[in-house]
Amino acid sequence: MTAPLLPTIAGPADLRRLSPEQLPRLAQEIREVIIDQVMATGGHLAPNLGVVELTMALHRVFNFEHDRLLFDVGHQCYPHKMLTGRADRLSTLRQTGGMAGFPEPSESPFDLFSVGHAGTGISTAVGMARGDTLNGEGYHSEKNPDGRRTVALIGDASIVNGLAMEGLNNAGTLNRQMLIVLNDNGMSISKPQGGFAKALDRVRMDGRYLDAKLRAKRMADAIPGGESLVRWYHKIGEVAKDLVAEDSWFADFGLLTVGPVDGHDLPKLESVLREVAKADRPIVLHVHTVKGKGFEHAEGNATKFHSPPAFKVKGCSVETASKGRAFTAAFSDALASTMAQDDRVVACTAAMPDGTGLTRILEEYPDRAWDVGICESHAMDMMAGLAKTGFRPFFAVYSTFLQRAFDQAFQEVSLQGLAVRLCLDRAGLVGGDGAVHHGFCDISLLRTLPNAAILAPIDEPSLKAAVAWMAGYDDGLSAVRYPRGTVTERDLGPCPAFELGRSRPLLTPEDPVAAIISYGTSGLDALEAAEALAAEGMTVEVHDGRFAAPVDLHLLEDLAHRELPVITVEDHGLPGGFGAAVAEAASDAGLPLRLRRLGIPDQWIPCGSQSDQKKMAGIDAEAIVNLVTQEILSP
């Protein structure tokens, strides 16, 4: 039996020592290890399976201990991590104290940025390329052949993001080497949207070969100093003639385009990469890959296997452990019900129909729901336009991606007095994806906007009630935030309708020693803490705050009048969060409130389980009990 190759790869230097004949076997081993790991712990599967050969080729041609590799999004970094000395840590993937599922500089010098949002890679690569040139370290084929090269790896869905377009526009002004590898798999998380995605579809289906000399002439006409490109095209000769190349849309950015190249053909990939690495001009290399390559279930359904939970393969089927009903599914049903009752309600998502629960909405209401691709800023402005024309728009987006559209929420929504409704999935601590995806600043951002209403449900009935209330709120922007995870099965009694700025009592015992005002699902931890305190002979009130803007001033007046110590608890950052809103409201009203706040501290919380992250953040039931017993009740 042939000994496995992967254990012999301690770094890219070992990869470069392998013969071409050994590489397919290594690619297969990498895929097998990734599949086994994601089956056990969950993680990004299809994106990583699709870039195995591409990652191997990049590390064989470039020396990224010296050269620069910038990932866009970064959810395709598992092969990169395995080839840069971290294969033995893959078993800790996305776990507490383990290896991050995205590039992480604290793990390795091969990871230059912590990334998890689309569209950033090209711009950071341009910055590093400029910095290396200013430091006298930038590559030039004649002046500095030992200098640093720069490579940015970006997907076909990410490249239509506005920031990516800005990066492309600036990359074309570089007077030095820079390689942008466009990984075109015809997918984002779901099917890419928009005109550029259709253009790439046409390229993949077009088998015509373009004359290399003619393309060089067009580029020479388009770019100052382009005559050198003609010489470069002659230099690479047959390599260029073997490439299927689209009419260069990128030429308008001043970028030479090569491709598409089969992203699973290692000899061809290496050959092309070695040639384009010598160029002193920015180049886009269009690489066509298959998302989920090597795992038939992922190849057949790349959306489902983009980032699956742990699963098992039984025959021809795949089974995942049932964890209960997700907040995302509960929101989907609530929105569908609202759309059925009011034909003015419209909805959109930014490339996340599955993740935000809009897949069924897009199918049931194709004329009133849209997936705009990875374009959150555009989505917000489009919703503003719909609101201006009399519709009631809902924009479903992850909390962490809302940040990318805050300017539009400010300028085109709130400033105009328009009622756009934001549905913020994955609010708070998100678990395995870690710091790049935590939704910890949406309250801080949105409550700065006049007339903004910011809601949070504690369970499914209150989520449904929140969506219904938002549909009728026309005085400004509104937002409902809910976590990644399942809705509670705990019976909290009848769910009252939402009223602007009013809380909901959850527990009101006689002679309480303190009051807890929770926000969102942190109310479940507050109730658990109250039960633990009651077992020790101490009773506390628990109130579901419901609104972070405006907060319930009537409740605060009552608590101040009764001189009860107050604790706020939330799954959000302390600066500017729900507790800060309570403190500000009490101060503005002159209320002598004895207040302590629990929330995500001013530090980055790494990957791990959500329960571990809550413990790290000090917002679980134990932390609430400790605060009551050790600080509020101690003399």
pLDDT digits (tens, 9 = 90+) for 178-187: 999 999 987 5
CA-to-CA dists, residue 232 to 150, 188, 245, 256, angstroms: 19, 33, 16, 11
Look up residue 363 and give its two tokens. 């199918």
Neighbours of 214 (CB within 10 A): 10
CA–CA gap between residue 30 and residue 28 (Å, rounded): 5
Question: How high is the pLDDT of residue 634?
Answer: 66
Question: How high is the pLDDT of residue 248?
Answer: 60
Residue among 376, 412, 541, 570 flagged as catalytic: 376
Look up residue 242 and give its two tokens. 């073997």
| Residue 612 falls in which region: left (phi positive, over 0), alpha (psi -120 to 50) or beta | alpha
Tell me the one-letter amino acid at 170.
N
Question: How high is the pLDDT of residue 207?
Answer: 36
CA–CA gap between residue 191 and residue 373 (Å, rounded): 9
**Residue ranges for the chain with pLDDT beneath 50:** 188, 202-247
Question: How high is the pLDDT of residue 300?
Answer: 84
Tell me the β-bridge partners of 71.
Answer: 153
Residue 291 a catalytic site member: yes
Burial of residue 205 (number of CB atoms within 10 Å: 0-12, 13-18, 19+):
exposed
Q: Helices (DSSP H) in 153-254: which residue ranges? A: 162-171, 195-205, 212-222, 227-236, 238-241
Residue 368 a catalytic site member: no
Domain residue ranges of the chain, discontinuous segments joined by +? 6-288, 327-481, 504-632
Residue 241 a catalytic site member: no
Domain 327-481 class, CATH top level: alpha beta
Residue among 404, 464, 504, 614 flagged as catalytic: 404
The C-alpha angle with vertex 85 and arms to 79 and 86, in degrees rounded to 5, equals 65
Sheet architecture: strand order including 504-507: 504-507, 540-544, 514-518, 566-573, 595-600
Q: 6-288 domain in CATH 3.30.70.20? A: no
Question: How high is the pLDDT of residue 323?
Answer: 79
CA–CA gap between residue 210 and residue 232 (Å, rounded): 16
Question: How high is the pLDDT of residue 265?
Answer: 95
CA–CA gap between residue 491 and residue 323 (Å, rounded): 18
CATH of domain 504-632: 3.40.50.920
- Note if the pTM is more than 0.85: yes
Helix pair 23-41, 266-276: axis angle to 10 deg: 100
Q: Residue 374 in 3-state DSSP?
A: coil
Question: How high is the pLDDT of residue 190?
Answer: 52
Supply the DSSP symbol for 497: P
Q: Residue 312 in 3-state DSSP?
A: strand
Residue among 148, 176, 281, 291 flagged as catalytic: 291
What values do phi and psi take at 603, rounded to 5?
-160, 160
Cβ-contact 450, 476 below 8 angstroms: yes
CA–CA gap between residue 112 and residue 277 (Å, rounded): 20
